[in-house]
Amino acid sequence: MKATPGSEELRAWLQLLRTPGVGSRTFVRLLEACGSAGEVIRLPRRDLEALGLKGPSLDFLGARDWHRVDQDLLWLEQPGNHLVSLQEPNYPGLLREVCDPPPLLFVHGHPEVLSNPQLAIVGTRNPSPSGRETAREFARYLAGAGLTVTSGLALGIDGSAHQGALEAGLTIAVTGTGLDRVYPSRNRDLAHRIAEQGALVSEFPPGTPPAPENFPRRNRIISGLSLGTLVAEAALRSGSLITARLAGEQGREIFAIPGSIHNPMARGCHSLIRQGAKLVETAADILEELGPLLGGLASMAQPSLPGHQSAGRLLDAEYQELLEQMGFDPVPIDVLIQRTGLTADAVSSMLLLLELEGQVTSLSGGRYSRIVKA
């Protein structure tokens, strides 16, 4: 949808979207009652009140202030910016099926990818190094097999999933702000790459800040666009579990990757598995489960997962940094060398001291694991 000189209906959609007290369900109900957004905003106050609108909504519509709508239209005229309404045929079909689909989707990038078969990958903002690697590997494998990976552009697992998908295919980022800003700002470069190959999506108009209540609403779009949701790492109290719950309510598949019993960021996944989520050990497990829904995509899967990549070379030689890079799963010493960027002699010496202090334990095969004290 693009603005044209006669786009009065588009202006009405945007005005209704910005009306306080008019959420997704009320918006759709008003459309069904009146036939168009234009008819809604032209109704006199008493008729709007009869349709259930309250004081703030009535006052806003009565003020006839179009300034913010004009700003939305200026945003829409910028290259790569699009609007997709619930009444358009290119509105993503799976999202249309949820109980409260967003009436308007603001898109920066390629709106056609919203109709691709998608898998959501979500998780903690503070993952272990192995959690980051796993999310990136799963995303790369699944994107290479033809799935579009959808996530929320957050730090941690979300960012790793987007990065892995970009290495092999397409990804979509659903945001909890207007698309005139990137939140968190540290993911600005990543957001630009996503827009080039896939799409940034939001139900919030330009200028919307990152308010806490926006993110559960964002999560229902992440799960609603997707055939299933994979939780890679999550604490017991995590927004990722909200996304998984919404996926279940929407009739979508829920997958969870198990982790070490010593890793607090695995407990959310273990809880999901106890509640019936499908335990997955490889990305191929997901393709096999989604096979009937994917048609020919499963046959495009790569024969095996790509090899592990290091989480990045870090030049900090402090012991706490080494412990953080170790994570909570058994790790070979050569992987720790890769993760920290330290020499083999330095890592060996540090591990010996940490073992003597009772903070790590050595295992067979040259592996080490943290000792988590109650």
User: Alpha-carbon distance 135 to 142, whole Å?
Assistant: 11
**Model confidence at 353, in pLDDT bands (50, 70, 90)?**
confident
| Pair (355, 216) in one structural domain | no
| Pair (168, 263) in one structural domain | yes
Number of structural domains (the chain) is 3
| Pair (244, 124) in one structural domain | yes
**Model confidence at 314, in pLDDT bands (50, 70, 90)?**
very low
Between 7 and 99, whose confidence is greater?
99
pLDDT at 135 over 90: yes
| Pair (143, 228) in one structural domain | yes
Q: What CATH number corresponds to the domain at position 232?
A: 3.40.50.450
> H/E/C letters for each residue in the chain?
CCCCCCCHHHHHHHHHHCCCCCCHHHHHHHHHHHCCHHHHHHCCHHHHHHCCCCHHHHHHHHHCCCHHHHHHHHHHCCCCEEEEECCCCCCCHHHHCCCCCCCEEEEEECHHHHHCCEEEEECCCCCCHHHHHHHHHHHHHHHHCCCEEEECCCCCHHHHHHHHHHCCCCEEEECCCCCCCCCCHHHHHHHHHHHHHCEEEECCCCCCCCCCCHHHHHHHHHHHHCCEEEECCCCCCCHHHHHHHHHHHCCCEEEECCCCCCCHHHHHHHHHHHCCCEECCCHHHHHHHHHHHHHHHHHHCCCCCCCCCCCCCCCCCCHHHHHHHHCCCCEEHHHHHHHHCCCHHHHHHHHHHHHHCCCEEEEHHHEEEECCCC
Average pLDDT over residues 228-235: 96
Mean pLDDT across the chain: 89
144 inside domain: yes
184: preceding bond cis by omega (within 30 degrees): yes
| Pair (240, 323) in one structural domain | no
List Cα–Cα distances, 156 to 135, 254, 266, in angstroms: 9, 20, 14
The 10s digit of each residue's pLDDT in 84-108 is 999 999 999 999 999 999 999 999 9
95 inside domain: no
Which of 71-85, 142-156, 305-319, 330-344 is least confident?
305-319
pLDDT at position 374: 44
Of the candidates 239, 236, 289, 288, the one whose C-alpha atom is nearest the C-alpha of residue 266 is 236
| Pair (70, 133) in one structural domain | no
| Pair (264, 185) in one structural domain | yes
| Pair (171, 268) in one structural domain | yes
93 inside domain: no
What domain range includes position 361? 319-370
Which of 25, 59, 76 is the last residue before a domain boundary? 76
pLDDT at position 343: 87
List Cα–Cα distances, 278 to 165, 273, 352, in angstroms: 22, 6, 39
| Pair (136, 246) in one structural domain | yes
| Pair (243, 330) in one structural domain | no
pLDDT at position 370: 84
Which of 268, 300, 332 is the last residue before a domain boundary? 300
Percent of the chain surpassing pLDDT 90: 74
pLDDT at 352 over 70: yes
Which of 67-81, 112-126, 249-263, 335-349 is least confident?
335-349
pLDDT at 311 over 60: no
pLDDT at 319 over 90: no
86 inside domain: no
pLDDT at position 318: 67
User: Alpha-carbon distance 296 to 277, whole Å?
Assistant: 24
Which of 76, 103, 123 is the last residue before a domain boundary? 76
| Pair (203, 123) in one structural domain | yes
83 inside domain: no
Copy the structure tokens of residue 50.
């009869």
**Model confidence at 350, in pLDDT bands (50, 70, 90)?**
confident
Of the candidates 207, 210, 211, the one whose C-alpha atom is nearest the C-alpha of residue 73 is 207
271 inside domain: yes
User: Alpha-carbon distance 47 to 60, whole Å?
Assistant: 15
196 inside domain: yes
Q: What CATH number corresponds to the domain at position 351?
A: 1.10.10.10
106 inside domain: no
| Pair (290, 323) in one structural domain | no
Model pTM?
0.81
